[in-house]
Amino acid sequence: MTLPPLVLGLESSCDDTAAALVRGRDVLSSVVMGQNALHSDFGGVVPEIAARAHAERLDTAVKQALSEADVRLTQVDAIAVTSGPGLIGGVLSGVMVAKGLSIGLRKPLIGVNHLAGHALTPRLTDDLAYPYLMLLVSGGHCQFLIARGPQDFTRLGGTIDDAPGEAFDKTARLLGLAQPGGPSVEAEARKGDEKRFRFPRPLLDRAGCDMSFSGLKTALLRQRDALVADQGGLTEQDRADLCAGFQAAVRDVLSEKTRRALALYLEEAPESPAIAIAGGVAANQSIRAALQTLCDDQAVRFTAPPLRLCTDNAAMIAYAGSELFAAGVTHDMSLSARPRWPLDQKAAPLLGSGKKGAKA
């Protein structure tokens, strides 16, 4: 029996420098070098700092991935790299390293869409068959996609402004909590009363699956300022209640929009009732639980890959690269970095571009 090709994946589209080796559905190694410390003084990812760090660290990440997988560079059959969407400097760093490796090793080069990497992850982790509905929720992305193949996606809707992870991060900043905001807001919310402050549920009154999260931070800011004006500051309980109210609003919007997206999806693919989530926000227990309940009620399979493969990583890029390679897709040295690259080329562009780059 011939082995599936050994694919080296590179990811550098935002603030994680990552390299991984994947053979078929086996992740032999997955190295993720985060950059939180480099950006923490600036309240967000600084594209130039990120790009420089990627350029400096990609070779270290590759060496580490090879060593953890116990393989030599010459054994690699193909090189897959995120060639968009994302912060242009970072994407360029990855593409240049991948081109160098491809020329040096005389092995095929495969440019991968970062969003496809996320969207195909449940096939890597759970062998999910096409088609399925995908909800991508992270610091940079928020969209519903029908996945039919490695290059065949239909977008049903997405955020028109901030991604939910961005809203969690901004909330944390407004309340003086640690970054990344998601885990700290979730921890506070566990101690809070979600009913004390009522936050808006944006766009629920509008048909369809588009979402908006930027108004939530304004509502939170107003509430916080009102408390400060009243009491001269925030108590521990105020903070917890604000977090709980905010998280409940995000959860309610995501679950109602998921209900609608599922209905649209099931009309098209009743034979394959399955939804998967990916992205950092998929780590949120309250959001996960709400989506799980929704799916249980409708006898829909719910897949949430393990967190290390839900957040940005290179194993998903290597895996998506393998699917493309199997479909005969390779690129030559004209492969370019694409800051914007929607998965569904036919869908109307969504508005907005967040701190982590274009929403695509």
Binding site for ligand KG4 (CB under 6 A): 14, 138-140, 165-166, 168-169, 180-183, 186, 279-281, 283-284, 311-312, 356
| Minimum distance from residue 30 beta carbon to ligand KG4 (Å) | 13
Kindly give the residue spans of alpha helices, DSSP state H, lying in 273-314: 285-297, 307-310
Q: Work out the end-to-end distance of the chain between its first and last CA atoms, rounded to an integer number of angstroms.
A: 40
Q: How many other C-beta atoms are found inside a 10 Å radius of the C-beta of residue 285? A: 11
State yes or no: residue 166 binds Zn ion (CB under 5 A). no
| 358, two tokens | 């274009």
| 283 touches, from ligand KG4, Zn ion, none (C-beta below 5 to 8 Å by class) | ligand KG4
| 238, two tokens | 């105020």
* Residue 140 vs 202, nearer CB to ligand KG4: 140
* Residue 238 vs 312, nearer CB to ligand KG4: 312
Query: Which residue of 16, 162, 312, 323 would you call a contact of Zn ion, by CB under 5 A?
Result: 312
| Minimum distance from residue 183 beta carbon to ligand KG4 (Å) | 5
* Residue 14 vs 81, nearer CB to ligand KG4: 14
Cβ atoms of residues 227 and 273 within 8 Å: no
Return the bridge partners of 147, or none. Answer: 132, 153
Which of these segments, 29-37, 49-57, 309-317, 329-337, binds Zn ion (CB under 5 A)? 309-317
* Residue 210 vs 312, nearer CB to Zn ion: 312
**Maximum pairwise Cα distance, the chain:** 72
* Residue 25 vs 190, nearer CB to ligand KG4: 190
Segment 117 to 156, residues that bind Zn ion, using CB under 5 A = 138
**Closest residue to ligand KG4, Cβ-based?**
182
Distance CA 303, CA 124 (A): 12
| Minimum distance from residue 171 beta carbon to ligand KG4 (Å) | 9
CA nearest 259: which of 207, 295, 285?
295
Per residue in 306-320, is it b (16+ CB within 10 Å) or e — as a string? eeebbbbbbbbbbbb
Which of these segments, 1-9, 43-51, 153-161, 307-315, binds Zn ion (CB under 5 A)? 307-315
3-state class of 128 per DSSP? Answer: coil
Cβ atoms of residues 322 and 5 within 8 Å: yes
| Minimum distance from residue 190 beta carbon to ligand KG4 (Å) | 11
* Residue 14 vs 360, nearer CB to ligand KG4: 14
| 274 touches, from Zn ion, ligand KG4, none (C-beta below 5 to 8 Å by class) | none
Distance CA 250, CA 180 (A): 17
* Residue 243 vs 318, nearer CB to Zn ion: 318
| 87, two tokens | 């912060």
- By CB under 5 A, the count of residues binding Zn ion is 2
| Minimum distance from residue 71 beta carbon to ligand KG4 (Å) | 26
Q: Please give the order of strands across the beta sheet that includes 152-158.
A: 152-158, 142-149, 132-137, 274-278, 301-303
